[in-house]
Amino acid sequence: MDLPIQIISTDFDGTLHADHETPPVPLRLQELIGDLQRRGAKWVINTGRDLTSLMEGLGRARLSIEPDWLVTVEREIYFREGSRYFPLQPWNGDCERAHRELFKAVEKDLPRLFQWVNGRFHASVYSDAYSPFCLIAGNNTDADDIEAHLIDYCESVPNLTVVRNDVYARFSHTAYSKGTALAEITRQLGLTREAVFAAGDHFNDLPMLLDEHACWLVAPANAITPVKEAVWREGGYVSDRHWGHGVADGLEAAMKEAGLL
């Protein structure tokens, strides 16, 4: 009989990992993921961090387990061979080209968008290697207002969307998200969504917290209300405990339901 849970996809900050906790990833969660890995499951960290930042965070966390796959900046995919991670091709190359072409279409409007934000809010707007428009708002209320304006703008540019996490946001391509990246990993492994577990806590996790991408969905107690509502709506598990402790609760419940505990 095939292992019922073969992919464990977890967001990093606020879901798997909490900086102020000791250890930052609960030992119980590490043990549950490790148990599934020993049975053949693959662990995916699905994050908005870039690769360098994620590797630094993993190094400081001193985990007893290692992720098999990484999704970084909500779209790039890496797989592990030995102690190294390698970019998945042609996915990453196609992703880079799609974003480069898309961002050419918004280049002419960037000064106007920057000016609109700077004239109304205390916020930082800038460009980086992953997006020509990045935002750090002063608070979540301002982030809500700016996001609404950006969403209106995106309607005028095919395939353009806003990816948001707390007070942070950036432009991205609609075809590349935590959800589509998870679906690609699932395809690469020759599996279906019935074998996938996914956990997240914030706006940028919503694309992977869908029944079309995962059978078991989990949100910890610290997840924002839209994430909890999405998980409830899809019949998932919302824990009354925070961060990795809540994810451990959800993973244990899924393993019991699947007959693995």
Q: Are 182 and 253 in the same domain?
A: yes
| pLDDT, position 2 | 83
Q: Is 82 left (phi over 0), alpha (psi -120 to 50) or beta?
A: left
Chain segment 23-53, per-residue pLDDT in tens: 999 999 999 999 999 999 999 999 999 999 9
pTM score > 0.85 for this model? yes
Percent over 70 (pLDDT), the chain? 100
Out of 116, 138, 173, a domain closes at 173
Residue where a domain stops, chosen among 150, 173, 196: 173
- 154 and 113 in a common domain: yes
pLDDT at residue 67, as a whole number: 98
Same domain, 70 and 183: yes
Q: What is the pLDDT of residue 33?
A: 98
Residue 1: pLDDT above 60?
no
Say yes or no to pLDDT of 122 above 90.
yes
- Between helix 27-38 and helix 243-257 the angle, nearest 10°, is 40
85 within a domain of the structure (yes/no): no
Per-residue pLDDT reduced to its tens digit, 132-146? 999 999 999 999 999
Token pair for 85? 């991670």
Residue 136 domain flag:
yes
Are 53 and 164 in the same domain? Answer: no
Q: How many domains does the chain have?
A: 2
To the nearest whole number, what is the mean pLDDT of the chain?
A: 97
79 has a pLDDT exceeding 90: yes
In a domain, 95, yes or no: no
Pairing of strands 42-46, 7-10: parallel
8 A C-beta contact, residue 79 and residue 85:
yes
Buried b (16+ CB within 10 A) or exposed e, 201-234: bbbbbbbbbbeebbbbbbbbebbbeebbebbeeb
CATH of the domain at 249: 3.40.50.1000
- Residue range(s) defining the domain that contains residue 148: 106-173
CA separation for the pair 31, 135 (Å, rounded): 37
9 forms bridges with which residues in the sheet?
Answer: 44, 198
185 and 161 share one domain: no
Q: Residues 190, 166: one domain?
A: no
Cα–Cα distance between 205 and 15 in angstroms, integer?
10
